[in-house]
Structure 1
Amino acid sequence: MGIAAPEINFSDLSNKPADSVRKLQESPSRTLLVHRRGGEEDLVLTTASRAREVREVVSTTTALFVALMQHSESVRDLVTEVMPKAFPWVKFLPREDMQAFVVELVQTLEAADSLGTPAPVTQLISEWQHTAEVHADPRLLAILQEDGEDFGDVPAPGATGS
């Protein structure tokens, strides 16, 4: 892990902006953790140059990983073998599903990087983790594998049935 960012309260940011900027500039990570009240999510304040650097590192790492995965089948096999180190829950997936996760992850990393957003990657990981949770629970897996009647489309939350 890196160096922890200095922390300030949101009120300090608005009441003492010069002090807040000084703390940001003196921070080795060039970031500040800004605490908010009332259950609101905390914020991370950083410099524009630091944000560009982080984006460059993520983009370069993604490009390298995608290139390696596209290079050869042996690299894809190796990545599939080491996946449990990064995502321990993949051990509950059947091997074919683990391989499908690796392929989807690479494709999604590349596409998300082209948009400059990590949201599709975190969504994909969450979806595959939920799939692993089903495989980890034999009772739930058995229920979901049973033949049953299809009740059609599920209405959107809050929608009323007709």
Structure 2
Amino acid sequence: MTAPEVNFSELSNKPVETVRKLQQSTSRSLRVHRRGAEDEDLLLTTVSRAEQVAEVASTTTKLFLALMEHDDRTRTLVTDVVPRAFPWVRFLPKEGVRQFVVELVETLEAADSLENPAPVAHLVAAWRSTAEVHADPELLAVLKRDGADSGAVPEPPAGDPGPGS
């Protein structure tokens, strides 16, 4: 289910019509487009819908955590089926898959306690990047070579397309 879309100017110039579109939307949300290249689109939703989404995520997290704590067979099963939810884990070594599952469970619990999904999204993105390295034998070999670690690579400045662009 995708949210209907409006331009930011519609929200400003025709607020009553825009709210009507929001209320008629089956998702109870509207995507609000912003013009600037650095301006992220907005998602306008009702408070009740946002609370429902948060409650569903929290309930799912709590159920998943309870299952994981139940017994060793459940933890093994989750590790065995995680490639269905995250196909890219197939490129990780077996120990990496297990470590991802442990970190995912811990991060889900901590993020739920903060009511902030950002740490989970960050963790998944980091592990996906790790899987991408393991999927490329040449890159993996380069990164496994002995040599000086120069530390973390800083993010490129906003709007910088990077080398070769």
TM-score (norm 2): 0.87
Show the counterpart of 1:143: 142
Equivalence for 1:14: 12
Tell me what 2:31 maps to.
Answer: 33
Deviations 1:48-96 (A, max 9, x none): 1111110000000000011111111111111111111111110000011
The unaligned stretches of length 5 or more in structure 1 are none
What is the aligned residue count? 155
Pick which of 49-58 and 23-32 moved more.
23-32
Determine whether 1:127 maps to 2:126: yes
Distance 1:60 1:135, change over 3 A: same
2:68 equivalent to 1:69: yes
1:23 to 21, 25, 40: 21
Task: Measure, in 2, the Cα distance between the counterparts of 1:37 and 1:155.
Answer: 30
User: Matches of 1:43 and 1:96 in 2, distance apart?
Assistant: 39
What residue is the counterpart of 1:45 in the other structure?
Answer: 44
In structure 1, the partner of 2:98 is 99
CA distance in 2, matches of 1:13, 1:150: 50
Gaps of 5+ in 2: 157-165
1:4-54 deviation per Cα after TM superposition (whole angstroms, max 9, x unaligned): 222111101010111111111111111111111122221110001111110
RMSD, aligned CA: 1.8
**Aligned-pair CA distance for 1:148:** 2.4
Q: Cα distance, 1:156 vs. partner? A: 6.1
Aligned partners of 2:141, 2:3: CA distance in 1, in Å? 46
**Share of identical aligned residues, percent?**
63
1:147 Cα deviation from its structure 2 partner? 2.3
- Alignment match, 2:163: none
TM-score by length of 1: 0.89
